[in-house]
């Protein structure tokens, strides 16, 4: 079977990552890895929008603090496409607790606290598609990346 090079994942720089000037660094890591950027924007989501994004966590004790944290400033929203984008994106982010993230991962290089872990990445293909629909109702772009010919076999 031909490898699926069109899997999509939703990656978001959280307010602390934006404030710390890490948007370019995080975007750049995905670009350099070979993923195709198919949507991007800076956004100031509402409380309701964030509660929808994190709906699976609403019973957790940290939920109110998580929503307050995410309301602290703009977030930078991105969709990347490529081979195994969801799982590879998670590996590039590192563990939820930055102290458990290996150096070389985004959280392992730039964060220390679970509640200030600077970035979000979809955890399954199904959730990625839900998140992309929530954050980019306008849709993502289709275009040809010339470097795809040298990134894939």
Active site positions, annotated = 120
Under the binding rule (CB under 6 A), the answer on residue 9 touching ligand UDP is: no
Burial 48-60 (b: 16+ CB within 10 A, else e): eebbebeeeeeee
115 binds, among Mg ion, ligand UDP, none (CB under 5 to 8 A by kind): ligand UDP
Q: Is 72 in the site for ligand UDP (CB under 6 A)?
A: no
Q: Which stretch binds Mg ion (CB under 5 A): 12-20, 21-29, 65-73, 120-128?
A: 120-128
Using a 10 angstrom Cβ sphere, with 0-12 exposed, 13-18 middle and 19 or more buried, the burial of residue 16 is buried
Residue 36 or 120 having the CB closest to ligand UDP: 120
With binding defined as CB under 6 A, does residue 114 bind ligand UDP?
Answer: yes
Q: Please report, in angstroms and rounded to a whole number, the separation of the first and last CA atoms in the chain.
A: 13
Q: Would you list which residues are annotated within the binding site for ATP?
A: 14, 62, 90, 96, 107, 117
């Amino acid at each position: 079977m031909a490898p699926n090079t069109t899997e999509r994942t939703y990656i978001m720089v959280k307010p602390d990552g934006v404030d710390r000037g890490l948007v370019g660094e995080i975007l750049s890591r995905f670009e350099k890895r070979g993923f195709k950027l198919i949507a991007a924007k800076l956004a100031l989501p509402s409380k309701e929008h964030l509660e929808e994004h994190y709906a699976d966590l609403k019973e957790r004790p940290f939920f109110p603090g998580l929503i307050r944290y995410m309301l602290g400033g703009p977030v930078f929203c991105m969709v990347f496409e490529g081979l195994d984008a969801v799982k590879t994106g998670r590996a590039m982010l590192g563990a939820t607790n930055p102290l458990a993230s290996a150096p070389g991962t985004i959280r392992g290089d730039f964060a220390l606290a679970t509640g200030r872990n600077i970035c979000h990445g979809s955890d399954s293909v199904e959730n990625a598609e839900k998140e992309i629909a929530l954050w980019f109702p306008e849709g993502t772009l289709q275009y040809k990346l010339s470097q795809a010919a040298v990134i894939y076999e």
